[in-house]
Amino acid sequence: MHSFGYRANALLTFAVTILAFICAIASFSDNFSNQTPSAQIQILNINWFQKQPHGNDEVSLTLNITADLQSLFTWNTKQVFAFVAAEYKTSQNSLNQVSLWDAIIGEKEHAKFWIQISNKYRFIDQGHNLRGKDFNLTLHWHVMPKTGKMFADKIVMSGYRLPDAYR
Amino acid sequence: MDWQGQKVVEQVMQILLVICGVVAVVVGYATESFRMMMMIYAGGVVLATLVTVPDWPFYNHHPLKWLDPSEADKHPKPQVAAVASKKKSLKK
């Protein structure tokens, strides 16, 4: 502590160490937040259901997505990434997950939304197993923090079924 | 800065920064504002810098008591020859 430079260095190093602790505490406080998200997805229409030239099935859907993800936002949240995936089982794979739609929610105000949209990403199967297939639509979300640990969770909605024949 | 001042400066710096950190987290959590936490902490770091880094006069209230130059004349340095013979014996 005998010179200006020595003291400035010591102070800066200690300040950055304390900053790291502060950020760790902020991240840890996320564990205590009460999260009650809700969502509903409705399939309004099956636009078309074809077999591609390569032999894979493809479906185009119009979805109506309603969700309230406002309770996921804490003081330490930068953004929430949400996506809808169709999940089903085939003889080839025990779990198929096909992402149909996603969004980045930057503010808490935008986290309560209603959207009617055809699938943003194509729903193509590995094969031709989709006729008459029962599938779940799952809304996944990743809560991305300003500092620290990212949390991810989902809501599974089941009971959807594709038609038995191509249209 | 004298020795006493240096000790005080180190303690003040550490305590001030820890307190600023704690206050920043508490206020930030209470106001649900990450920005508030960072602003308070940055303010605290600037405050700590202003208090501890410059050489303020109150850190020099216990200056070292150097001996009077006349004392040195009363206790002359040892003879140089004795030192030279010591070096020779070490080389062997």
- Please write the tens of the pLDDT for every residue from B65-78: 888 877 777 777 88
| pLDDT value, residue B4 | 86
Please tell me whether residue A6 adopts helix, strand or coil conformation: helix
Separation of alpha carbons B32 and B34, rounded Å: 7
Give the whole-number percent of chain A exceeding pLDDT 90.
59
Check residue A76 and report its DSSP letter.
T
How far B77 CA sits from the closest chain A CA (Å)? Answer: 29
Q: Taking the CB of residue B39, how many other CB atoms lie within 10 A of it? A: 14
pLDDT 10s digits, B21-74? 999 999 999 998 888 899 999 999 999 999 988 888 888 888 888 888 777 777
Q: Would you list the domain boundaries of chain B?
A: 1-65
The residue of chain A nearest to residue B20, with distances taken between CA atoms, is A18
Which residues of chain B have a CB within 8 Å of the CB of A148? Answer: none
| pLDDT value, residue A83 | 94
How far A152 CA sits from the closest chain B CA (Å)? Answer: 21
Q: Tokens for A29, please give them.
A: 């406080």
Contact A75 B33 (CB under 8 A): yes
| pLDDT value, residue B68 | 80
| pLDDT value, residue B25 | 92
User: Which one, of A19, A7, A21, lies nearest residue B50 by Cα?
Assistant: A7
Please tell me whether residue A107 adopts helix, strand or coil conformation: coil
Nearest to A19 among B29, B41, B52 (CB): B41
Nearest to B21 among A1, A18, A29 (CB): A18
Which residues of chain B have a CB within 8 Å of the CB of A145? Answer: none
Q: What's the average pLDDT block by block, 10 residues per block, for chain A (167 residues)? A: 87 95 91 88 90 88 92 92 93 92 92 91 88 91 92 91 87
How far A20 CA sits from the closest chain B CA (Å)? Answer: 10
